[in-house]
Amino acid sequence: MSLLYPIEASTRSEPVQAQEPAHFRDVLLDRVVGDVTAGRDEYHLQPLFYEPPTSVAATAYRQDVFRDLETPGICDALTHFGEGMRDVRQCGDLSLRLRNPRQQDRWFLEGVARYGQTIERLADQLMAAAPASTGLQATTDYLQDYRASERFRAMTEAATALIGELAAVQHVVHIQGSRVVVRHYQGEADYGARVADTFAKFRQGPVAPYPFREAPSGDLNHIEARIVDRVAQLEPDLFQRLETFHRDYGDYLPETVARLDRESQWYLACHEYVERWRAARLPVCYPTVAAEPGPVVIRGAFHPALMDVMPPGHIVCNDFLLMGPERILVVSGPNQGGKTTYARLFAVVHYLAQLGCPVPAEHASVSRFDQIFTHFEREEESGHPESKLEAELRRVRDILATATEDSLVIINEAFSATTVRDGRELGHRVLERLTVLGARTVYVTFLEELSRLSDATVSVVALMASKASGTRAFRLVRQPGDGQAYAASLAARHGLSYDQIRAQLGGMPS
């Protein structure tokens, strides 16, 4: 049983990809995953983002779980489950760290007791919430069977009984100088009651109860350890059963429950991240993911990494549309106009959609992909202009040799250091190959004419709020390029843009 993979979609329940995919940094998915998983380091959630499911069925399976999480009762149930399991791990870790065997046994017992309570509460809360998703229905059924199992019942009942017996143990510690005597309680006066009676006269009104829960502590000192050993000698049968309990149930945590704990945290982390979008009044939707390549329709999308660098009210949403034979968006326009963010956003929406998550868009209809290939300028290339073109050609060649009809390809301003003639020729050849492949592509370039190569290419242009001042709108639309993007880039490179000339003239009137 897994919350991430339906049985019919995959025989495994754990991604095998442990390394961050190569395209993550290029499209800023590394930042998104870092934000999502912040504060949950103990669960090692990052690898769960590295390998999206390959089947549309598994994607839909996850979407249904996310929809269930929008029901407060279900979200609360999984949240409480995570808190309970954190307590359980804390007790277990303490049991392993402590040196005194009897203290180890006691904290192990405490962990088992809290584990039983956590399982019982989750089973009851999910049953009451009646989830609609196949994943959480299977989880509910599993928990009902598990808590009714003979081993679970025997373990939790034994834990409850042992804790009760330990709480009932009474002994007297008599300290005289360096001599400490431990013996059975024989009806001696309760000094605690006498102290309470003495101070009762100072009470000025009702006192609110303060529930006390024993918190993990450190090792016993040598005196405390000797006292506990003496108590164990006074109650040999009880402490022997405590030791036996630890030995018999040392491996009490099933792999299925451990997996449920981690996978539920993955869902909760994503859910909390998406709720930040909603709180900021940014768009959220559940995408449609087709099994075969087809139209791409994305409306009102934004890159979630922008939330870290600008107020939500300043984030501009954009659209993507590929219909019929169209496969390639050729993006042009002025520098700093949002072209690179637009290219990244195309990959991010597709990736989150196939991962099974809600996506940052008003609407999204996309197709399943097999791999995402990206070509962005590398830092190691920028310092060596003499080898930059060679490195770019090699990387683009590798993409073209590996990509398929089901792939996504993001190429951001390749060959920008070459002449216009060479950049046009190289871009033309690359786009021809991508057209034959049929891969969905975003190609960012200054050469607008590349968008007119065939029916497979579509021109997308970054708009300017004001051409006079060069103010960027960060809005990109489907329309023919005006032929000015490369000229504007060339002028800026030589200090001849409108803003640069105006600054040199001391700020002439607009």
Q: What is the mean pLDDT of each run of 10 residues along the chain (510 residues)?
A: 78 63 94 95 95 93 96 94 96 90 92 96 96 96 96 96 90 81 80 82 76 63 82 85 93 94 97 95 96 93 92 89 94 86 96 97 96 82 63 90 95 82 88 94 90 89 64 77 60 66 65
Q: How far apart (Å, rounded) are the C-alpha atoms in residues 358 and 167? A: 49
The residues near 161 (Cβ < 8 Å, ≥ 6 apart) are: none
Q: 321: which strand partners?
A: 297
Cα three-residue angle 87-253-121, rounded to 5 degrees: 55
Chain CA centroid to CA 506, Å: 50
How confident is the model at residue 10, as a pLDDT? 47
- Residue 335: which region, alpha, beta or left (left: phi > 0; alpha: psi -120 to 50)? beta
Half-sphere exposure of 2 (CA within 13 A, CB side): 17
Beta strand 171-176 with 372-375 is unpaired
Half-sphere exposure of 346 (CA within 13 A, CB side): 32
How confident is the model at residue 306, as a pLDDT? 93
Contact 11, 152 (CB under 8 A): no
Q: How far apart (Å, rounded) are the C-alpha atoms in residues 318 and 298? A: 8
Beta strand 372-375 with 318-322 is unpaired
Q: How far apart (Å, rounded) are the C-alpha atoms in residues 463 and 469? A: 13
Contact 183, 174 (CB under 8 A): yes
Q: How far apart (Å, rounded) are the C-alpha atoms in residues 265 and 457? A: 42
How confident is the model at residue 173, as a pLDDT? 83
How confident is the model at residue 509, as a pLDDT? 56
Annotate 168-185 with b (16+ C-beta within 10 A) or e (fewer).
Answer: eeeeeeeeeeeeeebeee
- What residue type is assigned to position 111 of the chain? G
User: Tens digit of pLDDT for each residue in 247-267?
Assistant: 999 999 999 999 999 999 999
Distances (CA, A) of 304 to 65, 268, 297, 370: 21, 17, 19, 23
How confident is the model at residue 33, as a pLDDT? 96
What tokens appear for 71 in the block? 């029901």
Contact 42, 361 (CB under 8 A): no
Annotate 89-108 with b (16+ C-beta within 10 A) or e (fewer).
Answer: bbbbebbeebebbbbbbbbb
* Longest alpha-carbon distance in the chain: 102
| 3-state helix/strand/coil string of 121-155 | HHHHHHHHHCCCCHHHHHHHHHHHHHHCCHHHHHH
- Residue 177: which region, alpha, beta or left (left: phi > 0; alpha: psi -120 to 50)? left
Contact 119, 147 (CB under 8 A): yes
What tokens appear for 54 in the block? 């390959």
Number of H helices, E strands in the chain: 17, 12
Q: How far apart (Å, rounded) are the C-alpha atoms in residues 98 and 92? A: 10
How confident is the model at residue 141, as a pLDDT? 96
**Residues in the chain, total:** 510
